[in-house]
Chains A and B, each alone.
Chain A
């Protein structure tokens, strides 16, 4: 049954221009498409196939290629197939369209991505701060944000050298690489 479904689905998907499909296995389909074609693909999957569940949007920062990759994970309860639609957008200025009108839960994921990566979604209902309400720095999940450096500049450490460790050290054991030596590399 599900094989027949994917046959029909394949025919449907060919309507989208420039789509590249990869079948990882019968229940996983990867679709690479151009960023402009994504809304059409989502509208098709939601309206004419049974992909009613947008389970997540994830973002990957390809800093060397100066691109963000957005992955839309779509699930069908009828065929039990997971489709992931991959698009690439330029890192600067990092603006893309919201798919809130097709899938309402997208508002939640887009707000999260906006906070963590700084990608702005045009037409998303709310782009204000979400989880990191106390955070004023750059979007922390971007590859060019050096979390360790920020930590070194913001926090200090306390000595932790318990007695049982001293006993071990006397016998020649102990910690091989201390936290200090690891942290110092990044100072």
Chain B
């Protein structure tokens, strides 16, 4: 496991030059506001916590009044909800899903199990800290959290998006080496995903000093080009 602890590292924000024109940031603020008000949520129902989502989504607590709707595909979703324990096998799929989502993307870890493994802390099969493998914007602890807590958490996320603080997705690009290292630690050095994160980091201009490192070197040495799946009838 890599030694650096990322929980306290802030994302390097490019210093924004203070501008005297009061309308200069209006457009950005409008974008952030709209973003926080129309969120599509991919709920990856990994554990028992998913059972609190139907009441949160349907008429009793009604997420849609906040502008949050379920979405069926990762490519069209903004929020990835991880609703409970992630086994190592599931974690692979979670990472694949996360990488396919278009930025900006937000991750919420619901349930104590995503914080520290919860009641499965001594299980060989479940991953413990979710934010070692993908960056997490917000945790909602509880076993399991009630729909009120889920809604409260989503509202906090909205507030963070509105003020441009929910930047964990940038962290994934800027510290890709760290996340990749932890993933390799669990899945072995042959681990690779179909998404070219390093290329994306360059495109988004988010490549930092920690994007590349020893772990990405391993990735480069084992990376095979993607092959089309065999078609069978």
Contact = CB atoms under 8 A, between A and B. Distances in A.
Given A155-B117, A156-B1, A158-B115, A147 B132 contact: no
Interface stretch (B23-31, B76-84, B120-128): B120-128
A158 B121 contact: no
Contacts of B122: 147-148, 151
Interface in B213-231: none
A125 interface: no
Interface string B95-130: 000000000000000000001110001111101110
Interface in A96-132: 131-132
Contact of A179 (B92, B116, B127): B116
B141 A140 contact: no
B118 to A, nearest CB: 11
Interface string B178-197: 00000001111000000000
Contacts of A160: 115-116, 141
Interface residues of A, number: 22
Contacts of B124: 135, 137, 140, 145, 147, 150-151
A150 B129 CA distance: 15
B89 interface: yes
Given A134-B92, A136-B188, A156 B132 contact: yes
Contact of B7 (A148, A150, A154, A158): A158
A140 B121 CA distance: 15
B191 to A, nearest CB: 10
B45 interface: no
A133 interface: yes
B88 interface: yes
B29 to A, nearest CB: 30
Contacts of B132: 156
Interface of A: 131-137, 140, 145, 147-148, 150-151, 154-158, 160, 162, 179, 183
Given A147-B122, A157-B116, A179-B121, 19 more contacts: A132-B89, A132-B125, A134-B92, A136-B188, A140-B124, A140-B125, A147-B124, A148-B122, A150-B124, A151-B122, A151-B124, A154-B186, A156-B128, A157-B128, A158-B129, A158-B131, A160-B115, A160-B116, A160-B141
